[in-house]
Amino acid sequence: MRDYFRKPKTSVLVGLAFFLLFAGGGFSQEVYPGRPVNFIVPFPPGGSTDLGYRLLTKETERHLGQPIVVVNKPGGGGTVGVSAIAAAKPDGYTIGQTPSGGFLAIMPHMEKIPYHPIKDLRYILQFAELNFGLLVKADSSFKSFNDLIAFARQNPKKLTYGTNAPNSISNLIMEQVAKKEGVQLTHIPFKGSAEYQTALLGGHVLFTIGEFNYSYLEGGQARVLLFLGEKRSEDYPQIPLLKELGYDIPCPVYNGVCGPRGLTDDVAKKLEDAFSKGMKEPAFVKGMKDLHVTLLHRNSKEVTEYAAYNYERFGKILREMGLAK
């Protein structure tokens, strides 16, 4: 009688082990994150935005447990990099900078771009806002924002101002101010903040609004009359905000973290927790202060609502101006 109960041969055991190993692999899940995370910044390296994100990712790595590799993808006013984030596999290994300013609230309404800033992205958190300000020359007779409006009332179209582009956030904000006050301003667009600041110092425009170089303030060449953000500047706490002067006009220029829309709740929560801890690290706080960037935290729900509100708000403004596509 054959012995059906004798021990199986070693080769059978080995084969069974391999089968169980690979079959079991189909049911196992990688613990996130299991490898480095790519972080897309849609602007060139070296600027204040890029430096701010490099500070944050460096301090966040220790809390996430994996390296975070900054990848610069400039082009299209920020749309190239954001498009890459939106199109990435939603596994948490490609995330990046949230759209803000023009490539959140203006460009999607005026031209065809490869992503929808609300429907195609998952917002993880906001950690800062940029200090957009209204500057005049140091020797200007304008001592306050009210002085500018008073001048505009008495001198239609003679109050000239510079921004970085036509239909930019700064331009639309000033047009809304002019509409509310019933005054006429003359907008002179430039190719960037360096150009319009040079024009200001040269006396070619009476004020500028948008990004600015703090060295002009520190060197006594220019003065800031107001800021456009949500929170007063730590460097110039005595300077009012536009909203404090009675103008309900948002300026959604901020820094945050987002990923593709399909990120799971678990992965998104791990990222939000890690970046929230990273932005509290002393080295990050000091670095952002050195860059003159105001820290402002919004959690995932808050920044998602904030982005959606500004997308809709500026869409309405552009439709009323006949500029929406």
pLDDT tens across the length of the chain (325 residues): 444 444 444 444 444 444 434 444 444 467 999 999 999 999 999 988 999 999 999 999 999 999 999 999 999 889 999 999 999 999 999 999 999 999 999 999 999 999 999 999 999 999 999 989 999 999 999 999 999 999 999 999 999 999 999 999 999 999 999 999 999 999 999 999 999 999 999 999 999 999 999 999 999 999 999 999 999 998 999 999 999 999 999 999 999 999 999 999 999 999 999 999 999 999 999 999 999 999 999 999 999 999 999 999 999 999 999 999 8
Q: What's residue 314's pLDDT?
A: 96
CB 137 within 8 A of CB 221: yes
Tokens of 169: 């956030």
Q: What's residue 30's pLDDT?
A: 77
Decide: helix, strand or coil at residue 129. Answer: strand
CA angle 54, 218, 204 (to 5 degrees): 100
The candidate with the shortest Cα–Cα distance to 41, out of 97, 125, 103, 100, is 97
Q: How far is CA 6 from the centre of its chain?
A: 69
Do β-strands 254-260 and 94-97 pair in parallel, antiparallel, or remain unpaired? Answer: antiparallel
Tokens of 305: 């609502």
Q: Which structural domains are found in the chain, ordered by start?
A: 37-129+253-320 (3.40.190.150), 133-245 (3.40.190.10)
Q: Nearest 5°: phi and psi at 133?
A: -140, 165
Do β-strands 160-163 and 121-129 pair in parallel, antiparallel, or remain unpaired? Answer: unpaired
Q: What's residue 325's pLDDT?
A: 86
Do β-strands 160-163 and 207-210 pair in parallel, antiparallel, or remain unpaired? Answer: parallel
Do β-strands 207-210 and 133-137 pair in parallel, antiparallel, or remain unpaired? Answer: antiparallel
DSSP string covering 13-66: HHHHHHHHHHHHHTT--PPSPSS-EEEEESS-TTSHHHHHHHHHHHHHHHHHTS
Q: How far, in Å, are 118, 144, 247 from residue 291 at the CA level? A: 29, 26, 27
Bridge partners for 187 per DSSP: 161
The dihedral sign for the CA sequence 221, 227, 233, 239: positive
The candidate with the shortest Cα–Cα distance to 95, out of 59, 121, 133, 118, is 121
Q: What's residue 18's pLDDT?
A: 43
CA angle 68, 125, 90 (to 5 degrees): 60
pTM, entire model: 0.87
Q: What's residue 15's pLDDT?
A: 46
**Identity of the amino acid at 273:** D
**135 sits in which H/E element:** strand 133-137
Distance (Å, rounded) from C-alpha 170 to C-alpha 197? 14
